[in-house]
Amino acid sequence: MVNRFEAIMSRVEQNPDKKRCAVVCADGPTREAVREAETRGLIQAEFFSGDLAPMEAVRGVHAGQFDILLKGNIDTAVLLKEVVNKEYGLLTGRLISHVALLDVPRYHKLLLLTDGGMVMYPDLDQLRGILENAAGVMRRLGVELPKVACLAAVEKVHERMPETVRAAALKELQQTGEIRDCLVEGPISFDLAFDREAGRTKGYDSPVAGDADVFLVPDFVSGNLLAKSLVYGGGARFAGFLAGARAPVILTSRASSAEEKLYSIACSALVSSLSN
């Protein structure tokens, strides 16, 4: 099996122009991950602590002094309040959504799952923003035409299942050219998106079947359950950050390992590097 997060780290290491990471209120695991990332040559870090740390770090990113924002041991809400500040925050006019990159041993490539953490019950417009953020991240990771699976429990559109209606609408937006530079399929069930053989058995013909890059979920509850089942049930490794802001924002939780923070830093550095 290709060690896919390590492949991303190698690419970031080889970039001579190291990305600068603002670290807010680092705790032990955060400090450990940042030191490891610096040792590997992934980033250059600066630490902010104290009550003003969230504001100072966000102002620094706003001013272009930093390419990545990394949350340590503070409430997510406190940091997000600064991120969305209209004067000095990181808003770009795009929707801000969460992307999880998962390295699942039983899948043949890195996959992106969204949005399991930021936009709770998205409507069609928000789903479109989530989709476009995700496709953009995948392109910056080197996938030229990302394949997006708009997940549901079934493949048919039923009016009484609103997630199937929205999935079909997203597919149509891509087919009419409203959504560009990606290939959208939906509604599609998880087995068909994940497993080529399942598609053959069900006679489901789509280039996205068994080969999706982006797994777009209907809401954050299903996304959260799905990501955690892939990590705990499927042995997946996880990286996560916010997309759609001026810079990637890494919001790892208290339970996140130093390893998870390290992968998040590496992926953020690659996304940041190629978007400038």
Tokens matching residue 264: 């998040």
Residue 175 sits at φ, ψ, to 5 deg, of -65, -30
Residue 176 sits at φ, ψ, to 5 deg, of -90, 5
What's the closest the beta carbon of residue 36 comes to a second copy, in angstroms?
19
What's the closest the beta carbon of residue 162 comes to a second copy, in angstroms?
9
Q: Residue 191, interface with a second copy (CB under 8 A)? A: yes
Query: Which of the 8 DSSP states describes residue 17?
Result: S
Contact string (CB under 8 A) for a second copy, positions 107-126, x = contact: x--------xx--x------
Contact string (CB under 8 A) for a second copy, positions 245-264, x = contact: ---------xx---------
How many CA atoms lie within 13 Å of 203's alpha carbon, on the beta-carbon side? 0
Cα–Cα distance for residue pair 220/217, rounded to 1 Å: 7
User: What amino acid occupies position 131?
Assistant: L
Cα–Cα distance for residue pair 66/18, rounded to 1 Å: 11
In the list 189, 264, 268, 272, the residue contacting a second copy (rule: CB under 8 A) is 189
Q: Residue 202, interface with a second copy (CB under 8 A)? A: yes
What's the closest the beta carbon of residue 63 comes to a second copy, in angstroms?
34
3-class SS of residue 47: strand
Residue numbers at the binding site for a second copy (CB under 8 A): 104, 106-107, 116-117, 120, 151-153, 160-161, 163, 189-191, 194-195, 198, 201-202, 217-218, 220-226, 228-236, 254-255
